[in-house]
Chains A and B, each alone.
Chain A
Amino acid sequence: MNTYYIKKDDFVDFVKRLSMEFSTYYLRKQTSDFYWKNEQRRILYWQKYDGSLDGMVLNWVRANDPLKQFIFSSKERICQDFQSVEPDDRPLLIIGAKNCDLVALDILDYVFLEGDFQDPFYAKKRKLSFIIASDCTDPLEICFCRALNRQAFPTKNFDMALADIGQGYVVEIGSQKGQDFISKFISKFVIANSDQLEERQRLREATSEKLESNIKRLQIPNASELKEIMQSGFSSGVWEDETKTCVECGCCNFICPTCHCFFLGDSREENKNIRYKIWDACLYKDFAVVAGGANPRKKLYQRLRNRYDKKFDFFPTVLNMIACTGCGRCISGCPGKIDIRRILKRLVQERQLVK
């Protein structure tokens, strides 16, 4: 497929036209100066489009909250009085998703779409979502996608991907749906020239270098070591030590782009029996408890370890894919300052001491 170029004003018009058919969410910067003066508090969030694209940011970094929420709702009514609830069928347009959220969709797609049963709610929203992704240009100190061999620019699971090169965007097409939309507005999209492609490449390399030098400075382990250190470090004292500041809030689960566990909650409301599908957190004490009271992970450190075990051992085994994208959200969200990079690094160091 061709790679295009569009001027920024024309892109705004394009979005406004599309938003007549879609519920649109775009990436917006936090407007308070207080946040912007402090790099660590830099926050982008998803803003529902309401006629204006004020504060839209199409590069910088991922949103504070994960993309998954649009496709896998935090709380969703799924059944009522033995009848299936029909999933919402309004198409979604999401603008500004970064690669750390896009690659996470591979994990969610595997969970919800594969196997003997498909989740009809996820399937419908996934199908109805039109994703306009964009390059990450200003990764945070906590970002470490390159250590996990992920790119900071969109590589998959998008319909269109934008790279901001100053006056306009270089636009890559990721799906037939994306191509069809471009075709409808073809007068605004021109084939990108080699200077524009080179500029995109230059910016991408600069971002990558920024990430890689940070990874090197902090000695963050590489993806290739992680499955082995999870296995060698299963009985390590690191888990208990790192759990000391955990308050079992579940933030690391909820904010994670790949965490997908949920529970089915039944309730009676206004004489109707309702079943909800609600996000759950494996850090919570009752997560794996059975009715008789047995709990395979009674201790908090076992539950913290379980989260890592699933990301760095389970998914690499069943899907040949690490279920961490290096987005760093669990680091910034944790009130106990538990740092996934530090834990992985400590496990590597312990293994080296044993060798």
Chain B
Amino acid sequence: MKKDNPYNSVKANLLEVITESPSIKTFVFNLMSPFSFATGQFVELYVPGVGEAPFTPSSNPSKTDKIDITIMKVGKVTSRLHSLNKTEVLGIRGPYGRGYPLDNFKGKEIFIVGGGVGLAPLRSLIFALLNEKSKYKKIILRYGARTPEDIIYKSLVRQWQNSKDVDVKLTVDRADSSWKENIGVVTTILSKNDVDITNAVGVVCGPPIMMKFATLKLLEMGFQDSQIFLSMEKNMSCGFGKCGHCRIGNYYCCKDGPVFTYKEIKDFPEIWD
């Protein structure tokens, strides 16, 4: 057990800010102390004097010199982050919680469903899967965004598509004239013909409403509730099960999650709200 002050952040140097969409930016940090995380775990990012917010890193977990965090501008801390220039000193705590169980994923088809900024943790997952590509049968990504310009990591997604490393299908809610792919919510591109459900896991990350309907769709396609992995977002404040804010039924999202199987949480109320 760690005896030092777990509430204290360590310094993180902001090296670069990459604009991904009108409301989403990726922040690249290097840390003054050694840092590693398992894909799917989260950190508390600190803007000194302003506050903290929880994020799941979007970078490759095997890369330990730098860490990427992709952030949508939605609240007090994220608005401040979006106004930052590079070379700022911020703070970080973590990593916390339980990430994706990659050992459980080995030998299977990984059917990944993302929505909006929810692709951020999934990018880290896909990097981790590609690190040991031969150990997974297939990597499938189904990603939806509101409009073509809201799609994040555009060139990387195209690169995955072109290299055939990842079976990618995209959709947008509202298209412009240049859009050649599917139009509709993400469930319209989920098909049981694209995946061997007898040997697969489903992974879902996105806004709550999208996670709910994507999960219901996966169940309808024939996934078992124990085969569906959800990256849950609750109000994680301390990050390690003390402060009480992120309870989901008999769990705390921060220490027991943020990755849960649907089976673990489906009987608790209020999970999608």
Q: Which residues of A contact B (CB under 8 A)?
A: 78-79, 81-85, 111-112, 115-120, 234, 260-268, 273-275, 277, 280, 282, 287-298, 302, 306, 310, 313-314, 317-318
B229 within 8 A of A: no
A82/B8 in contact, CB under 8 A: yes
Interface digits, B1-39 against A, CB 8 Å rule (1 contact, 0 not)? 111111111110000000000000000000000000000
A318 partner residues in chain B, CB cutoff 8 A: 250
B7/A79 in contact, CB under 8 A: yes
Given contacts A79-B7, A79-B8, A291-B75, contact A263 B245 (CB under 8 A): yes
A111 partner residues in chain B, CB cutoff 8 A: 241-242, 244
Q: With the chains together, A314 CA to B208 CA distance in Å?
A: 23
B270 within 8 A of A: yes
B271 partner residues in chain A, CB cutoff 8 A: 296
B9 partner residues in chain A, CB cutoff 8 A: 79, 82
- Give me 10 other A-B pairs in contact (C-beta within 8 A), A117-B242, A261-B245 excluded: A79-B8, A111-B241, A116-B255, A117-B1, A117-B241, A119-B242, A120-B5, A262-B243, A266-B49, A302-B270
A83/B235 in contact, CB under 8 A: no
A81 partner residues in chain B, CB cutoff 8 A: 48
Q: Which of B50-58, B162-170, B185-193 interfaces with chain A?
A: B50-58
22 contacts between A and B (CB under 8 A): A79-B7, A79-B8, A82-B8, A83-B8, A116-B2, A116-B241, A117-B6, A118-B1, A234-B269, A262-B238, A262-B244, A263-B245, A265-B51, A266-B50, A266-B51, A291-B53, A292-B233, A297-B270, A298-B273, A306-B247, A313-B250, A318-B250
Q: Which of B3, B78, B241 contacts A291 (CB 8 A)?
A: B78
A314/B250 in contact, CB under 8 A: yes
B47 partner residues in chain A, CB cutoff 8 A: 266
A234 partner residues in chain B, CB cutoff 8 A: 269
Q: Which of B49, B74, B207, B238 contacts A264 (CB 8 A)?
A: B238
A118/B53 in contact, CB under 8 A: no
A260 partner residues in chain B, CB cutoff 8 A: 242, 244
Q: With the chains together, A266 CA to B241 CA distance in Å?
A: 19
A294/B273 in contact, CB under 8 A: yes
Q: Which of A84, A264, A287, A317 has the most CB of B within 10 A?
A: A264
Q: Which of B5, B91, B247 has the most CB of A within 10 A?
A: B5
B5/A290 in contact, CB under 8 A: no
Q: Which residue of A lies closest to B49 (CB)?
A: A268
Q: With the chains together, A297 CA to B244 CA distance in Å?
A: 14
In the assembled complex, the CB of A77 is this many whole angstroms from the nearest CB of chain B, namely 11
A282 partner residues in chain B, CB cutoff 8 A: 244
B49/A273 in contact, CB under 8 A: yes
Q: Which residue of A lies closest to B2 (CB)?
A: A117
Given contacts A117-B1, A280-B244, contact A78 B7 (CB under 8 A): yes
B91 partner residues in chain A, CB cutoff 8 A: 82
B207/A292 in contact, CB under 8 A: yes
A85 partner residues in chain B, CB cutoff 8 A: 5
A288/B78 in contact, CB under 8 A: no
A292/B74 in contact, CB under 8 A: yes
Q: Which of B234, B240, B245, B249 contacts A115 (CB 8 A)?
A: B240
B4 partner residues in chain A, CB cutoff 8 A: 84, 120
B46 within 8 A of A: yes
Q: Which residue of A lies closest to B71 (CB)?
A: A291
Given contacts A78-B5, A117-B240, A118-B2, contact A288 B245 (CB under 8 A): yes
B77 within 8 A of A: yes
B237 within 8 A of A: yes
B10 partner residues in chain A, CB cutoff 8 A: 82
Chain B residues 233 to 264 lying within 8 A of chain A, measured CB to CB, are 233-235, 237-238, 240-247, 249-250, 255
A302 partner residues in chain B, CB cutoff 8 A: 270
Q: Which of A82, A275, A294 contacts B11 (CB 8 A)?
A: A82
A293/B74 in contact, CB under 8 A: yes
In the assembled complex, the CB of B238 is this many whole angstroms from the nearest CB of chain A, namely 6
A291/B77 in contact, CB under 8 A: yes
A266/B273 in contact, CB under 8 A: no
B247/A314 in contact, CB under 8 A: yes
In the assembled complex, the CB of B151 is this many whole angstroms from the nearest CB of chain A, namely 19
Given contacts A280-B244, A288-B235, contact A118 B48 (CB under 8 A): no
In the assembled complex, the CB of B126 is this many whole angstroms from the nearest CB of chain A, namely 23
Given contacts A118-B3, A234-B269, A296-B273, contact A280 B242 (CB under 8 A): no
B208 partner residues in chain A, CB cutoff 8 A: 294
> Nearest 3 CB-CB pairs, A to B?
A268-B49, A261-B244, A291-B75
Q: With the chains together, A296 CA to B249 CA distance in Å?
A: 12
A264 partner residues in chain B, CB cutoff 8 A: 7, 52, 237-238, 243
Q: Which residue of A lies closest to B209 (CB)?
A: A294
Q: With the chains together, A84 CA to B74 CA distance in Å?
A: 30
A277 partner residues in chain B, CB cutoff 8 A: 7
Q: Which residue of B lies closest to A306 (CB)?
A: B247
Q: Which of A262, A268, A295, A317 contacts B48 (CB 8 A)?
A: A268
Q: Which of A115, A275, A287, A292 contacts B75 (CB 8 A)?
A: A292
Q: With the chains together, A311 CA to B9 CA distance in Å?
A: 32
A115/B241 in contact, CB under 8 A: yes
Q: With the chains together, A186 CA to B158 CA distance in Å?
A: 82
B207/A290 in contact, CB under 8 A: no
Q: Which residue of A lies closest to B241 (CB)?
A: A115
Q: With the chains together, A277 CA to B245 CA distance in Å?
A: 13
Q: With the chains together, A282 CA to B245 CA distance in Å?
A: 8
